[in-house]
Amino acid sequence: MLGRNVARYASGGHRNVRAISTSQILAFGARNSAILNRFKNEEIEAPSKLAQESSLPVIEQDLKTKPRHPSKKIPFLSDHKIENDPNYQMSGWKQSIGQWVIKTFSIDMDKSRAGPVAGSIYFGECKRQGLYYPNEPLSDTASFFYETLNLPKSFSQQYQIALLHYWILSVRMRAMPFKYGKNYQQKLIDRMFKDMELRMSQELKISSNRIIENYLKDYHTQLIGAVLSYDEGLMTDDITLASALWRNVFNGNPNVDMRHVEALLGYVRSQLYVLNKMSDREFGFGKFKFVPPDQVVQPLTKAQEADLKEKAKAEFAQHTLPSQTSSLSLDE
């Protein structure tokens, strides 16, 4: 059965499948035009607005486990002053020594930058999206995931949300020169797992290291499976990517609201689009921020793209210090 299916794909037979489904849609649409006209709008809506349109009765999914909630809060990134304080300024003499060392030893700053950018800025971006603490208000993105999409509040769910955002970033990192992209991916994933280890021990109060290690191994297995499924979805079609999202983010919920799956798929595709339009240099310097789900990403015109490129070039032309040198492209 699998072989036949594979053969159909290899010969491009899935195109025929799409044609059949399209004709059925057209026939149904013609007969029920009044019903469907409202939803024929080709305009893209913001993911959170799209998801809120539906009021499907919520049937609680039995996850066969009672999630453990954090009983303590550790610092978002770390308690180190450089990482924790957004207004931290290194003293002038320290900066001068640093710049001298970089210049004298010709240090590859693109390689060094992977730590603070991927391992701190982008890690923070991934962690922030699904972060929740009991009795604390949710951020806009977290409320999209937990309130609009009705996902269960649990540590594993937070991980799945962070993993989805990791994958989105890693798609862009693969498009960087190999040695830099690989380094960025490694720094990001290492930091995510280090953070999970700390949170399981300090926030969830799991005292056994063996249990924590087993959880981390499980999460690693999930990472491999999810990345493969998302990659497959990226290279094939929307429904394959939607199925991957349904299995991983929606926990394979049989009573899932299709509107929610569509909203999340639109959210993921829009982030990838923004990353596609961003140059290696901008991305490598940590300029990317995930677009909040209550905003719509509109495709850029050629003129807008050229304008953005000009602005980026003008901005990076001012970066003349040894620590700001980069071989990453500003054109692609």
Partner 1 sequence: MSTKNEIAQKIVALLKTLPKDRIKHYASFKDVQLERFQNKDLVAGISEKDLKLQYASLRDLVNDKYKNYYKLDDKLLVPKGNPNYYTRIMAEIRGEKKTSFLDAMKIVTFGK
Residue-wise burial string across 41-74, b where 16 or more C-beta atoms lie within 10 A, e elsewhere: eeeeebbbebbbeeeeeeeebeeeeeeeebeeee
Q: Which listed range, 154-162, 206-214, 270-278, 284-292, lies at the site for partner 1 (CB under 8 A)?
A: 270-278
Least gap, CB of 278 to partner 1 (angstroms):
10
Alpha-carbon torsion (102, 108, 272, 191), positive or negative? negative
Nearer to partner 1, 132 or 219 (CB): 219
90 forms part of the interface with partner 1 (CB under 8 A): no
Under a CB-based contact definition with an 8 Å cutoff, are residues 257 and 305 in contact? no
**Window 208 to 247, contacts with partner 1 (CB under 8 A):** 228-229, 231-232, 234-239, 242-243, 246-247
Nearer to partner 1, 71 or 276 (CB): 276
Least gap, CB of 309 to partner 1 (angstroms):
13
Please tell me the count of residues contacting partner 1 according to CB under 8 A: 72
| Cα–Cα distance for residue pair 116/78, rounded to 1 Å | 12
Least gap, CB of 106 to partner 1 (angstroms):
23
State the binding string over 162-181 for partner 1 (x if CB under 8 A, else -). Answer: ---------xxxxxxxx-xx
299 forms part of the interface with partner 1 (CB under 8 A): yes
Least gap, CB of 222 to partner 1 (angstroms):
11
Nearer to partner 1, 80 or 174 (CB): 174
281 forms part of the interface with partner 1 (CB under 8 A): no
Binding-site member from 130, 266, 284, 293 for partner 1 (CB under 8 A): 266
Q: Which listed range, 55-63, 78-86, 151-159, 281-289, lies at the site for partner 1 (CB under 8 A)?
A: 55-63
Q: Which listed range, 3-11, 91-99, 203-211, 307-315, lies at the site for partner 1 (CB under 8 A)?
A: 3-11
Q: Which listed range, 37-45, 62-70, 284-292, 301-309, lies at the site for partner 1 (CB under 8 A)?
A: 37-45
Least gap, CB of 197 to partner 1 (angstroms):
24
Least gap, CB of 11 to partner 1 (angstroms):
11
In angstroms and rounded to an integer, the radius of gyration of the C-alpha atoms of the chain is 23
295 forms part of the interface with partner 1 (CB under 8 A): no
Binding-site member from 163, 196, 249, 261 for partner 1 (CB under 8 A): 261
Alpha-carbon torsion (42, 47, 48, 51), positive or negative? positive
**Window 57 to 86, contacts with partner 1 (CB under 8 A):** 57
33 forms part of the interface with partner 1 (CB under 8 A): no
32 forms part of the interface with partner 1 (CB under 8 A): yes
289 forms part of the interface with partner 1 (CB under 8 A): no
- Amino acid identity of 64? K
182 forms part of the interface with partner 1 (CB under 8 A): yes
